[in-house]
Amino acid sequence: MIKGMLSRYSLGLVAVAILGLGGTMPAQAAVKASTVTFGQLTNQNSHRLAAIREAARQEILTKTHAKASRVAAVYQVKLPTHMTKKATLTASGLRMNLLPNSFKVKQIVIPYQQLTGKVINRYLPKKNRTTGLKYKKSVALTFDDGPDPTLTPRLLKILKQNNVHATFFEVGQSVSRYPKITQAVVKAGNEVGNHSWNHPDFSQIGTTASVNQVIRTDRAIYAATGKLPQYVRPPYGNITAAEGRKIQHPIVRWSVDSRDWAYLNKAKDINEVLRTTHPGSIILMHDIHAPSVAAVPTIIKRLKAKGYHFVTVSQLLNQQALPGLQYFAANNYRTAGK
């Protein structure tokens, strides 16, 4: 049955390709959409279903050309929570019907490229399926607390010179102040994640306040880039189980702490990262300290000399990070808040 669905799906891709070139499709090759349940799409995995909801929110905002002021509202749209609910596989993506909502959208189609790692591979076109890491010795550089008007652009130049991409966990109030720098981060091929609005300890401010911190920062990043951030890194790495359930993003922690915030010393930053990095590491640094940024060229050079390859968090986690879980390194995760 699954094979049949994929065959019909493949015909749909051919149809789109031919029609895009100005051709016509014979009647017998018309696309037949396939109905599936969310249980089938996710293999009954509630975290995968939460990830589909995450993709749906982005599609609603994109479809309606929504302003940033509407970001909070998209979290109020009722989206599927039951595995028995149905959706439709089409040539262009996963079609979902929506309940009445403030966006006045009755139906969305989530492009398949937005569902990589969220939907079981067999329901996706081959080009959108997850695969293993290309390089065994892969690591992800991550930078917290920016954007900084001076140091972040300097870091972007260093990364470009070394042909390296990284993941930036940015503070919402700084994104709001320097949106063009956040835009530059994304334009250069890097990822932007959510690091709260003004860097409080989530475990101390309560679930409601923590969720508001995340949504407010989502709004700032969306205003700057047109995209909701995929990940959240809670300040100090602290998050409760309740916050992990309520925050609608995967939580990204780290396995290597450069301690650059404590050392403020280029040589010590370099030594700490080199001493503690292993294949699959997520490396924590900050782009608001000059010694940290100054340490990056040497860190990259020496790790490359050891055979390491630098990737984004998404690439390191094989595009499979899911809401409700927290990730420390490749193949190292557990329930958020535990």
Last residue of a domain, one of 128, 161, 179: 128
**22-72 pLDDT, tens digit each:** 333 333 334 568 999 999 999 999 999 999 999 999 999 999 999 999 999
pLDDT for position 203? 94
Phi, psi of 234 (to 5 degrees): -70, 140
Phi, psi of 281 (to 5 degrees): -70, 145
- Give CA separation, 199 vs 72, 141, 292, in Å: 19, 20, 19
Q: Which residue, of 74, 104, 128, is where some domain finishes?
A: 128
Residues 70 and 112 placed together within one structural domain of the fold: yes
Residues 305 and 189 in one domain: yes
Asked if 187 and 307 sit in the same domain, the reply is yes
Q: Looking at the structure, do residues 208 and 87 belong to the same domain, yes or no?
A: no
**Are residue 230 and residue 328 in the same domain, yes or no?**
yes
Q: How far is it, in rounded angstroms, from Cα 127 to Cα 132?
A: 13
CA–CA dist 12, 16 (Å, integer): 6
Q: What's the residue count for the chain?
A: 338
Is 238 buried (19+), middle (13-18) or exposed (0-12) by CB count in 10 A?
middle
Tell me the residue range of the domain where 28 lies.
2-128
Q: Are residues 292 and 258 in the same domain?
A: yes
Asked, for residue 207, whether it belongs to a domain, the answer is yes
76 with 171, same domain?
no
Query: Is residue 179, in this structure, part of any structural domain at all?
Result: yes
- Same domain, yes or no: 162 and 302: yes
Alpha carbons 78 and 44: distance in angstroms, whole number? 19
For residue 147, whether the previous peptide bond is cis, meaning omega lies within 30 degrees of 0, is yes
43: left (phi over 0), alpha (psi -120 to 50) or beta: left
pLDDT at 100 over 70: yes
Q: Where residue 327 sits, what CATH number does that domain have?
A: 3.20.20.370
272-280 mean pLDDT: 98
> Which of 165, 195, 249, 286 is labelled catalytic?
286
End residue of a domain, out of 75, 100, 128: 128
| 278 flagged as catalytic | no
User: Does 133 map to a domain?
Assistant: no
- Per-residue pLDDT of 1-21, as tens digits, reads 334 444 444 434 433 333 333
- Separation CA 116–CA 113 (nearest Å): 6
Q: What is the pLDDT of residue 5?
A: 40
Q: Is the pLDDT of residue 308 over 70?
A: yes
Taking residues 238-251, report their average pLDDT: 97
- pLDDT band (50, 70, 90) for residue 75: very high
Mean pLDDT of 261-284: 98
CA distances from 146 to 47, 258, 279, 289, 291 (A): 29, 16, 26, 10, 15
Q: Note whether 105 and 174 are same-domain residues.
A: no
Among 280, 338, 276, smallest CA distance to 310 is for 280
pLDDT per residue over 142-151, tens digit each?
A: 999 999 999 9
How crowded is residue 321: how many other Cβ atoms within 10 Å of its Cβ? Answer: 23
| Mean of pLDDT values over 190-194 | 98
145 is catalytic: no
- pLDDT tens for 104-141 read 999 999 999 999 999 999 999 999 999 988 889 999 99
What's the pLDDT at 33?
Answer: 84
> CB–CB of 137/307 below 8 Å?
yes
Number of domains in the chain: 2
- Asked if residue 27 is part of any domain, the answer here is yes
Instruction: Examine the domain organization and report whether 320 and 183 are in the same domain.
Output: yes
Question: How far is it, in rounded angstroms, from Cα 73 to Cα 251?
Answer: 22
Alpha helices, DSSP H, located in the chain: 2-20, 38-42, 46-63, 71-74, 151-161, 172-177, 179-187, 202-205, 207-225, 241-246, 260-263, 266-276, 290-305, 313-316
Among 14, 209, 6, smallest CA distance to 123 is for: 6
- Does 150 share its domain with 273? yes
Buried b (16+ CB within 10 A) or exposed e, 25-62: eeeeeebeebebebebbbeebebbbbbbbbbbbbbbbb
What is the reported pLDDT for 24?
38
Verify that 202 and 254 share a domain, yes or no.
yes
